[in-house]
């Protein structure tokens, strides 16, 4: 009887890993609430609802008060990213991306996330 090939063993292990990553959501054990990713202040559902009130020309401070801190900022802080709680490994999702110039909002919209990549 021959032993299973390394490929036959590696595939189920890789599949289990990918599936577990798709289900990863951090939950506060005390409150049971979902913990937003990165430095993000609010759950993505709250961000999406409040984002309906975004207007081009808003100051960064006004956006911060409306949406809370983003999950990620680019190097100079002119691009903010708000992320859903799930990593979008198995189920495609979207992130809210905001662009600022001279501390004013110039562009905002949703960007697709597929296989955890924006």
pLDDT tens-digit readout, 74-95: 988 999 999 988 755 556 688 9
Number of domains in the chain: 1
Pick left, alpha or beta for residue 89 (phi over 0 → left; psi -120 to 50 → alpha; otherwise beta).
alpha
Is 1 inside a domain boundary? no
CB atoms within 10 A of CB 60: 16
CB atoms within 10 A of CB 105: 19
Residues 15-63: pLDDT tens digits? Answer: 444 444 444 557 777 877 777 777 888 889 999 999 999 999 999 999 9
Distance CA 104, CA 56 (A): 8
Distance CA 10, CA 4 (A): 10
For 31, the domain range is 6-113
CATH assignment of the domain containing 71: 3.30.1450.10
Is 118 inside a domain boundary? no
Could you give the C-alpha distances from 117 to 14, 61, 93, in angstroms and in order?
18, 28, 10
Phi, psi values for residue 79, rounded to 5°: -130, 125
């Amino acid at each position: 009887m021959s032993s299973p090939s390394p490929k036959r063993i590696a595939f189920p292990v890789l599949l289990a890993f990918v599936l577990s990553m798709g289900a990863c959501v951090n939950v506060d054990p005390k409150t049971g609430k979902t913990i937003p990713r990165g430095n993000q202040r609010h759950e993505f559902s709250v961000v999406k609802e409040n984002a309906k009130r975004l207007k081009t020309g808003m100051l960064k401070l006004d956006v911060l008060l409306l949406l809370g801190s983003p999950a990620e900022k680019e190097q100079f802080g002119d691009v903010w990213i708000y992320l859903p709680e799930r990593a979008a490994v198995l189920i495609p999702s979207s992130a809210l991306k905001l662009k600022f110039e001279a501390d004013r909002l110039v562009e905002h919209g949703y960007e697709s996330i597929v296989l955890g990549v924006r």
